[in-house]
Amino acid sequence: MLNYRHLYYFWVVTKEGGFARAAERLDMAVQTISAQVRELEKALGHQLLKPAGRGVAMTEAGQAAFARAEEIFQLGQLIPEEVREAASGKVARLAVGLSDGISKLAAHALLAPVLATPTLRLLCHEGEFEQLLAELAMHHLDLVLAGQPAPHNPNLRLTSERLVESPVEWYGPSALVHKAAVAGFPQSLARLPVMLPTGHSALRPRLDRWFEAQGLRPHIVGEFEDSALLAVFAARGLGVFPVSRFGAADVALMRGLRLLGRCDGVLEEIHAIRSRRGQHHPLVMQLVAAARA
């Protein structure tokens, strides 16, 4: 088994740039630290450090080890505070993964029922779908919100539930959404500047097929991964954009925007993906119950 004390000494030596400075920081003899690092190299079977002037430099193997050590000990520095908070019962922690491409407006609306929880500490992490599922399986996250269900994989032991299946609507600033544009929707989209979600979004291919079915070739002026950014740029006059009706209900983020039209036949889905442990998290249970209602 990897000796984490040896790994810690290696990490400090690398951070300090040499054995002498690491010995000073740790208040230990240089020879002791050097011997511990050699033991780590022996256990891993590769040289991690090499001389470089008056200090040391990492080998390629050392760079790989340091990258993981950096993650481990940065997380370790958080443990005392998190343990104190957990012991005091003062913090309600909820870690949520937001898959690239889902509507952040809709995600905000889904999380709204728990935002008033006293002493809530909410961690929202955005990332690639597969990466978030891996973090969920390792219990780094309590919940993942994504535009698709989790794939069947008995090793991950994840469950999915569709929380939202919402029609898509188009909004824009009043300067662009005038009576003629509304009356001529959806054909008016061919004459308006259009902003769309990027290809990361599960909604984008559905919109592309809808454009094709309507015989439209929109003038695309921007593509965004974040639907909240779409709303911000639309409010500043850049163009019109699609958003799920569920997300559009977030009045605070949609202020100043007008409804252009409804995108018949196009739906946005959001799935709640949980590990077995996450199924019993009280805040996850609360927001899932609110979405069902």
The two three-digit tokens of residue 169, written as one number: 């609507």
pLDDT at 89: 64
Grade residue 228 by pLDDT with cuts at 50, 70 and 90: confident
pLDDT of residue 214 exceeding 60: yes
CA-to-CA separations, 35 to 5, 39, 40, 67, in angstroms, rounded: 12, 6, 9, 22
Q: Over the stretch 75-134, which tens digit does the pLDDT of each residue have? A: 888 788 777 766 766 678 899 999 877 777 788 888 989 998 888 889 898 888 888 988
Q: Over the stretch 129-155, which tens digit does the pLDDT of each residue have? A: 888 988 888 888 899 999 888 888 766
pLDDT of residue 252 exceeding 60: no
pLDDT of residue 251 exceeding 60: no
Rounded CA gap, 131 and 127, in Å? 7
pLDDT at 85: 66
pLDDT of residue 2 exceeding 60: yes
- By the 8 A CB rule, do 257 and 234 touch? yes
- Its sign, for the CA torsion 66, 69, 73, 75, is positive
Helices 104-111 and 227-235 meet at what angle, rounded to 10?
110
- By the 8 A CB rule, do 144 and 273 touch? yes
Please work out, in degrees rounded to the nearest 5, the angle formed at the alpha carbon of residue 54 by the alpha carbons of 49 and 56.
15
pLDDT at 97: 92
Least-confidence region, from 8-17, 23-32, 80-89, 168-177 = 80-89
Most confident region among 63-67, 132-136, 250-254 by mean pLDDT: 63-67
pLDDT at 206: 92
Average pLDDT, the chain: 88
CA nearest 60: which of 49, 69, 51, 71?
49
pLDDT at 46: 95
> Model pTM?
0.61
Rounded CA gap, 96 and 92, in Å? 13
Please tell me what DSSP assigns to residue 33: H
Identify the residue whose tokens are 């535009």: 147
Grade residue 42 by pLDDT with cuts at 50, 70 and 90: very high
186 preceded by a cis bond (ω within 30 of 0): yes
Grade residue 249 by pLDDT with cuts at 50, 70 and 90: confident
Grade residue 239 by pLDDT with cuts at 50, 70 and 90: very high
Q: Tell me the percentage of the chain whose pLDDT exceeds 90.
A: 46
